Amino acid sequence: MNETAVKVKELVKRYRELLAVDHLNLEIKQGEIFGLLGPNGSGKTTTINCILSLLSYDNGEIEIFEKPMKADAYDIKAKIGVVMQNVAVFEELTVQENIDYFCGLYINDKQLRKQYVEEAIQFTGLEDFRKFYPKKLSGGLLRRLNIACGIAHKPKLIILDEPTVAVDPQSRNRILEGIMELNRQGATIIYTSHYMEEVEQICSRIAIIDNGKCIAQGTAEELKKLIKKREIITIDILSVTADDIEALKALPHVYSVTFEDSKLTILCDGGSHNLVRVLDYLQGKEYSFGHIHSALPTLNDVFLEITGKELRD
Residue 164 contacts ligand ATP per CB under 6 A: no
Among 40, 56, 86, 111, binds ligand ATP (CB under 6 A): 40
Span of 15-23, 61-69, 214-222, 227-235 interacting with ligand ATP by CB under 6 A: 15-23
Regarding 42 and contact with ligand ATP (CB under 6 A), the answer is yes
Name residue 264's beta-bridge partners. 235, 259
DSSP H or E stretch at residue 97: helix 95-104
Looking at the Cβ atoms of 121 and 223, the one nearer to ligand ATP is 223
Rounded to whole angstroms, the Cα distance separating 120 from 145 reads 9
CB closer to ligand ATP out of 6 and 278: 6
Beta strands in 84-212 (DSSP E): 157-161, 188-193, 205-210
- Residues 181-220, mask of contacts with ligand ATP (x by CB under 6 A): -------------x--------------------------
Q: Per CB under 6 A, does 18 bind ligand ATP?
A: yes
Sign of CA dihedral 65, 74, 42, 194: negative
- Among positions 118-157, residues that touch ligand ATP (CB under 6 A) are none
Q: With b meaning 16 or more CB within 10 Å and e meaning fewer, what string describes 267-295?
A: bbeeeeebbebbeeebeeeebeeeeeeee
* Residue with smaller CB distance to ligand ATP, 51 or 137: 51
Count of residues interacting with ligand ATP (CB under 6 A): 13
Angle at 255 between CA 279 and CA 263, to 5 degrees: 50
Q: Which spans of this chain sit near ligand ATP (rule: CB under 6 A)?
A: 15, 18, 20, 38, 40-46, 162, 194
